[in-house]
Each structure stands twice: as C-alpha cells, then as structure tokens.
Chain A
Amino acid sequence: MESFEPLQRFLPQVWFFILGLFLFLYVLLDGFDLGVGILSLTASSETRRSILMTSLGNVWDANETWLVLMGGSLFGAFPLAYATILNALYIPLVIMVVGLILRAVSFEFRENANNKLVWNLAFGVGSFLAALGQGFALGSVFEGIRVDEAGHFAGSPWDWLTWRTVLVALTLIQGYVLIGSAYLIVKTTGEIQKTYYRTATIATWTTLLGAVFITISTPIMSEQARSQLFSPPLFYVFAAIPLLGLLLVALLLRSLRRREENSPLVYTFLIFALSFIGLGFMIFPNIIPPSVTIYEAAASPSSLVFMLTFIGFLIPVILSYNIYNYVVFRGKIVVQETAAEEAKVPEPV
C-alpha cells in the first residue's frame, strides 16, 4: 500500500470526496423526500396528503437522480468497490430499489387515480422500504464487508442483518422523518405546519437516541474503529463532532420551540453534514471497510483524470441548476378553495 505514487493517492482521494458529496446530497435531498413519503402515511386527510405530494412534485426526480449519479460515479471511479459492495448488499439494495420504484410509480399513478388509497399506501410504504434498505446498506458498510484477498465479497447473503445495522436503519429512518418534517415546516402553514413542528421534535429526540447508541457502540464493538478513534490527530476530530452535534441538536430544538420556519431545516442539514464528516473520517482511507482502501479499489489514474475533467467541471453547473429549480418553486403551498367547495356552503335560512 505504501508504494502508491502521489498522483495515485491524490486522485482516489478527490474521488472519495466527490462520491461523499454526491451521497451527502442524496441523503439530504432524497432524505426529506423519503421523510415526507413516510410522513404521508400519517397524514390525516386527503387534502393534507395532496399538500405533501405537491411539495415534492417538482423535486423528487432530481433528488432521486443523485443516487444514480452516485452509483455511476462509484462504478467508474472505484469499480472494485461498486462490484463488491453491491454484490454483498444484494438483499438490502433490492429492498431499496423496490421501495423507490413503488414510490415513483405511485406518485404518477396517484395523480390519475380515482381511488387513491392503494397508491397512497404504496407511496408511503415505498418510501419506508427505500429508507430501510438504505439504512441496512449504510449500516453494513459501516460494520464492514467480508472480502477475500482480491477484494471480492466473501461473506454470506445475510451479513447485512445484525442488531447494529437494524439500529442504523431505524436511526436513518428517524433522520429522514426529521428532515422531511423540517422541509414541510418550510412549505406549509397553519394547522398542518403545527403537526410537523410536533413530528420534527419527536424525530429529533429519536434520531439523537439512535445516534448516541451508534456513537457509543462503535468503539466498543470494533477494534479498527477504536484504533482510528484514539490515534492523536483524529482524536480531536472525533471528540469535536459529538460536542458540535449536541450543540446543533440543542439549537434545533430551540428553533422548533420558537416556531422558527427556516432555521430547523438549516440545523438539520448541518447535523446531517456533521454526521457525514464523522462517517467519512471513520471510513477513510477505506472504501470497502474494513480492509480495501480507496487506492486499491480505484480505477486507473487516466480514468480518474478523464472522469474528473468532465464530471468535476459539471458539479458546479449541476448544483446551480438544482438551486435554480428550488428558487423557481420557492414559497408555501396553500389550498385554494374552489368553486365546488363554496357551492356546498349551506344557504342561510
């Protein structure tokens, strides 16, 4: 491993960062998307559900596309990791893909259906399954994937299912519900908004609980994590992250109590960002924890340079037009009373 040239070290690091960015944007953006989907299961009326769906109408597609970006780029930049991880996580990924399909399709079918019940349910359940599959996948990567000397998957098909991955999956779902609630606070008003202040508060506490459990159990369970954590330079990073995290959670809870509209979403974003930085430091320089490094799994330097030339240059462009999309559709969703509704008002006797 020591024999890698500076360029052969630098390029995989750049790509590790880019992939981290894609994954982060995916988790953030499709996170609120999936969160709203899960919350739609609890929506008390069809009107409310329509508002939830409308809030996603123009963005769900682009949000989901970050996952495809991430998949394609992982394939190109770290073919070995793409092959081994996806092979190892077959079942959770099938769950995720089925969930995402169900969700996307119900979204369109619901628009056209008279009986919306089936598609409402499929949408909510699909969102839940997608989040669950992702949680298991994330948990398994975190836990480590058993590989042979060539870096190929050498574990069993059920390796992904342990009590720790269950914990990660449940926490991720809570995190998605939190970010979904924060998004809905921005997009709604009145009674509906109140509901989501409440779910955001609950989800903050449950996410925190899960995160604390994961943070504490990681060094206890994994020797590698222990040696990573307690070596000098990173020790300060890992000490700072939980403290900053707690501070942000406190700020988030305060903003929710004060009924602020935009800051809960900002704090939630920051909490996610912080967790991601922690996760990144934890895994680096591996890409298939615990044993295959980014240098071993990387494509050839010429491939990485070629990809970087095009994709690297495009990242700011992609971010700009994504932001433009949000700017065009900024603002709250209100229900306009229609003529049919007014006609039903009983006439004064």
Chain B
Amino acid sequence: MFLDTVTLSRLQFALTAMFHMLWPVLTTGMSIYLVVIEGLWLKTRNLDYYRHARFWSKIYVLNFGLGVASGLPMAFQFGMNWAPFSEAVGDFFGTILGFEGTMAFMLEASFLGIMLFGWERVPPVIHWISTILVAFGSNLSTFWILTANSWLQTPAGGMFVDGKFVVRDYLQAIFNPFMVNSFLHMFFATLETSLFVIGGISAWYILKRRHSEFFSRSFKVALVMALVVAPLQVFIGHLSAEQVYRYQPAKLAAMEAQWETLPAGERADWSLFALPNEREERNEWEVKIPGALGYLLEFKPRLDRPVQGLKAWDPQNRPHMIGLIYYSFRTMVAIGFFMAGLVGATLIQWLRGKLSAEALPQQKWLMWAWVFAGPLGYIAVEAGWIVRCVGRQPWIVYGQLRTAEAASPLPPGEVLFSLVGLTALYTVFFVAALYFGSRIIRKGPNLELAAPVPATQPVIVIEPARHEPDRRPAEAR
C-alpha cells in the first residue's frame, strides 16, 4: 500500500525537517554576522552599525521564533514515529541530542532575551558578549546535530549487539568519519546562506535607492565575509563528495545516476543531465563531460578505484528516487559555484573601484544578481540534505539498521492525522513568514535611532496597540 506507516512517517520527517531547516539556517549564520556588525559598532562607534544590528535583528527574531516552533516536533518525533530506532541507538544518538539541548539550545535561548530586548538593560560590552553567546550556542547546536547525523551516515565507535547499539568509544563515535567535513559544510552553508540573504536584501535597497549608503555598508560586510566563505564552501563540498565516494558508494552511484560499474582505469565521465529510468535500470538519455568525474574524484581522467554502479546492489539495498538525488546534487553544486562566481565578479568590480556608496546603485546587473542569489542558499541547503538523507536509504543507520524496521508500529491514520495537521499549519506559517518578512523589509531600518542609554528604572516600555498613527521609532515596536 502506498500510505503505509513507514512511508507516512518518512514523509512527516521530511516535511518537518525541511520546514524546520528554513529558519535556523538563517539564524545560525546571521548570528555570526550580528556579532561582527555589533563588534564594528563597538570598535568604530559608528551608529550606522548599531542601526544595522537592530534592523537585522528584526528579521533574525522572526526566523528564530519559527525555528524554535518547528524544532519542537523534531525533538519528539524520534520517539513518537521512530520508537524502535530510538531504543536501538538511544545510547549514543539520544546522548548527543541531550548534549545539544543542554549545551547549545539553552545558552542560545537564554541570551537571546538579552540580545533582543536588553540593549538598554546591560552595558554594550555585556550585550555584545550575549550576542556572541547566542552565536556560539547556535553553531554548537549545528555541531551536535551534524555529529548525530554523521553518525547515522558512518556509524563508528561501537557495535550493534542484539539490535542495540553499544558504544565502545565515545570520541570515536563523535568524531566519526563524516563528522568534521559535514559540520564544516553545514557551518559554512548557514553562514553563506545568511550572507547572501543579507547581501541580497541590501542590494534590493541599493537598487531602489533607499538608504543606499547605509546598505552599502551591510553589503560590503557581507561581501567580505562571503569572499572567504563561498570558495571555502565549494572546497569542503568537494571533500564531502570524496568521502561519499569512499564510505557510501551506493549514494555516490545515485548522485551520479550511474547504473553500471565504471571499472578502474577506464575514462570516468561526469554526466551533466540525465533522465534516469529506475524500472529499466538505465538512463533514457544523458549529456556527459568526458573524464570530468575522474577529475572530480581523483584529479585525473582515469580512476584508480572503480566507481560502483547502482546495479552492483540488489534493489532493496540501494537508494531509490535516483532522479531526485541526481538533480538535488546538481542543483546544490550549481548554486555553490554560482555564489562563488558572483562573489568573484563582485570582487573584480570592487577592485576596479565600482563599489563606492555612490557608484553601487549603478551596478544594476550585479545588484540584481545578488537579489536573485538571496534565496538560493536555502535551495542548496535543502537539496544537500535530500542528497544526504534520501541517498542514505534504505538505511536509517547506514549498513546497520533499515528505515523500514525503525518506524513505530502506529496505525497509518494516526500518522496521517499529524501529517495533514502539520502540513496545513506549515503552509500557513510559510506564507505568513514571507509576508511579515517582506513587511519588515518594506518598512526599512530606522535611521534616527539613537545609541542605547542605560535605563534608569527597571521598566519595559510598551506601546498601547490602539494608537494610530504609530509615531514611535520603529525599533521599539
């Protein structure tokens, strides 16, 4: 049956994870940007940096709320929908999630209050430290989540005894083969996505000639950071793919829609487009670049080791939805290269002196390219996770525990009930978030905002909401 419990639970996990991912990907990366911009304010005492910090915080907090909200089902559904999995790997996987909660989430959530509402309650340096702690907490949580997920990809540090994972060596389990690269790849992904969102929004203001000088500042900070991040990310992505080649050959075959094994010593072509036909186990047609796969994997046209084709595994032991994995991978790679290229092109214009605050609005093509690149990071991140997790199938713990054996034996109707409910809610929230996000952007920053003054009395000032028109500075809302 199509709508069996396993399929529904997988759909629900995919939905909740992909929806959840949209928000922390921005807040985690943006928190680092906020640390930088607030640091610049403290260093230069230029109020524009302070105003930037306040403006971007507004977008930040909208995303943060959605991230917390959509993260809750993630914390519970391992037990709810994947009870056999939770029992089997709880000793390690649960421990890591426990670490994430205690070490990362709490730190982030507690100092968030001060970061958002504490400008006039604590001295600037303490505020900056709070921002740093929020950023540290967010990224620590990336670290633990990627540790947990990498362990699912390359389980290490123990063994399964009677269907239960027994940890022998925690450090080995934590620093499993995928962990370092996966963490770095995600760390830079959140940062890169955020930098391009910030750069894109700044470029939009610059194009509209609204506060173009003000936004050329945030644009340049984002650009400088992206100059480091974007090329590095391409490189780490490359390292990650090499690791897949080594540790998860079936996933690599799916990423390349490679049905037949490529023997060692033969020219390894890289396919650019293909139309995989799973039933007949072949590609209807494909466009190939000769030798390119060889260069990608071992930096020479002919490989020393064979690239195994999908047919090397029985159908029940290899991933399905080859087209999805194949195109998701290509989408991610294309976006990664586009972003690195855009940063390069922008650097050239900068060196030619075309990025001064006055000249920037004339760089129409460049600015539009940045606006266009704004949402691309999200697509790349989602695509990357599809490759990573759909490509891991049919395993939930690679090579050890099958997804189909890991789902709770719930009645399908029960899962359908939650799946439909969450889909409806998430659709509304997604639309509303876009609406309110664009509202914040259309409203724009408050350029009259004065430096924070320590509050003389412990009072939170609020606005009676019935006031029309609203004349307060935008920041107090």
* Residues of A bordering B, CB below 8 Å: 45-47, 49-51, 54, 57-59, 61-62, 64-69, 71-80, 82-87, 89-91, 93-94, 97-98, 100-105, 107-109, 111-113, 116, 152-153, 157, 299-300, 302-303, 306-307, 310-311, 314-315, 318, 321-322, 324-325, 328-336, 338-341
A-B contact pairs, 24 of them (CB 8 A): A47-B465, A50-B462, A50-B464, A59-B113, A62-B113, A72-B97, A75-B90, A75-B93, A82-B94, A83-B84, A86-B83, A87-B80, A87-B83, A90-B80, A93-B76, A94-B418, A98-B425, A104-B69, A107-B65, A299-B91, A300-B91, A314-B102, A333-B462, A338-B471
Contact among A58, A69, A314, A336 for B117, CB-based, below 8 A: A58
Task: Establish whether residues B113 and A69, one from each chain, have CB atoms under 8 Å apart when the complex forms.
Answer: no
CB of B45, distance to nearest CB on chain A (Å): 24
CB of A91, distance to nearest CB on chain B (Å): 7
Task: Establish whether residues B117 and A71, one from each chain, have CB atoms under 8 Å apart when the complex forms.
Answer: no
For B65, give the chain A residue with the smallest CB separation: A108
Task: Establish whether residues B65 and A105, one from each chain, have CB atoms under 8 Å apart when the complex forms.
Answer: yes
For B82, give the chain A residue with the smallest CB separation: A83
Bound Cα distance from A6 to B439, whole angstroms: 61
- Known contacts A61-B68, A71-B97, A98-B425; can you find 15 more A-B pairs with CB under 8 A? A46-B464, A47-B466, A64-B109, A69-B98, A72-B75, A80-B90, A82-B94, A91-B417, A98-B422, A105-B66, A108-B64, A109-B436, A307-B95, A325-B113, A340-B467
CB of B132, distance to nearest CB on chain A (Å): 13
Task: Establish whether residues A69 and B102, one from each chain, have CB atoms under 8 Å apart when the complex forms.
Answer: yes
Contact with A along B416-458 (1 / 0, CB 8 A): 0110011001000100110010011000000000000000011
Bound Cα distance from A337 to B352, whole angstroms: 53
* Given known A-B contacts A100-B69, A108-B62, A302-B167, A339 and B462 have beta carbons under 8 A apart: no
Bound Cα distance from A98 to B93, whole angstroms: 25
Contact with A along B84-102 (1 / 0, CB 8 A): 1011111111111111111
Task: Establish whether residues A157 and B465, one from each chain, have CB atoms under 8 Å apart when the complex forms.
Answer: no
Contact among B90, B421, B429, B472 for A94, CB-based, below 8 A: B421
Q: Does B299 contact A (CB under 8 A)?
A: no
Task: Establish whether residues B464 and A61, one from each chain, have CB atoms under 8 Å apart when the complex forms.
Answer: no
Residues of chain A contacted by B116 (CB below 8 angstroms): 57-58
CB of B75, distance to nearest CB on chain A (Å): 4
Q: Does B323 contact A (CB under 8 A)?
A: no
Bound Cα distance from A58 to B110, whole angstroms: 8
Bound Cα distance from A102 to B425, whole angstroms: 8
* Given known A-B contacts A50-B462, A50-B464, A83 and B90 have beta carbons under 8 A apart: yes
For B92, give the chain A residue with the smallest CB separation: A303
CB of A229, distance to nearest CB on chain B (Å): 30
Q: Which of B68, B76, B79, B463 has the most chain A CB atoms closer than 10 A to its own CB?
A: B79
Contact among B90, B98, B166 for A311, CB-based, below 8 A: B98
* Given known A-B contacts A94-B418, A101-B72, A73 and B458 have beta carbons under 8 A apart: no
Residues of chain B contacted by A157 (CB below 8 angstroms): 410-411, 414
Task: Establish whether residues B467 and A338, one from each chain, have CB atoms under 8 Å apart when the complex forms.
Answer: yes
Bound Cα distance from A80 to B410, whole angstroms: 17
Task: Establish whether residues B79 and A75, one from each chain, have CB atoms under 8 Å apart when the complex forms.
Answer: yes
Residues of chain B contacted by A51 (CB below 8 angstroms): 462
* Given known A-B contacts A91-B414, A300-B167, A321-B110, A68 and B425 have beta carbons under 8 A apart: no
Bound Cα distance from A83 to B80, whole angstroms: 7
Residues of chain B contacted by A325 (CB below 8 angstroms): 110-111, 113-114
Q: Does B460 contact A (CB under 8 A)?
A: yes
Bound Cα distance from A89 to B418, whole angstroms: 13
Residues of chain A contacted by B410 (CB below 8 angstroms): 87, 90, 157
Residues of chain B contacted by A108 (CB below 8 angstroms): 61-62, 64-66, 436
For B122, give the chain A residue with the smallest CB separation: A328
* Given known A-B contacts A47-B466, A333-B462, A101 and B70 have beta carbons under 8 A apart: yes
Bound Cα distance from A65 to B101, whole angstroms: 8
Q: Does B208 contact A (CB under 8 A)?
A: no
Task: Establish whether residues B113 and A61, one from each chain, have CB atoms under 8 Å apart when the complex forms.
Answer: yes
* Given known A-B contacts A90-B418, A328-B118, A69 and B464 have beta carbons under 8 A apart: no
Contact among A45, A77, A80, A329 for B87, CB-based, below 8 A: A80
Q: Does B398 contact A (CB under 8 A)?
A: no
Bound Cα distance from A67 to B98, whole angstroms: 11
For B63, give the chain A residue with the smallest CB separation: A108
Contact among A79, A112, A302 for B86, CB-based, below 8 A: A79
CB of A138, distance to nearest CB on chain B (Å): 15
CB of B448, distance to nearest CB on chain A (Å): 14
Task: Establish whether residues B113 and A57, one from each chain, have CB atoms under 8 Å apart when the complex forms.
Answer: yes
Q: Does B73 contact A (CB under 8 A)?
A: yes
Bound Cα distance from A97 to B118, whole angstroms: 29
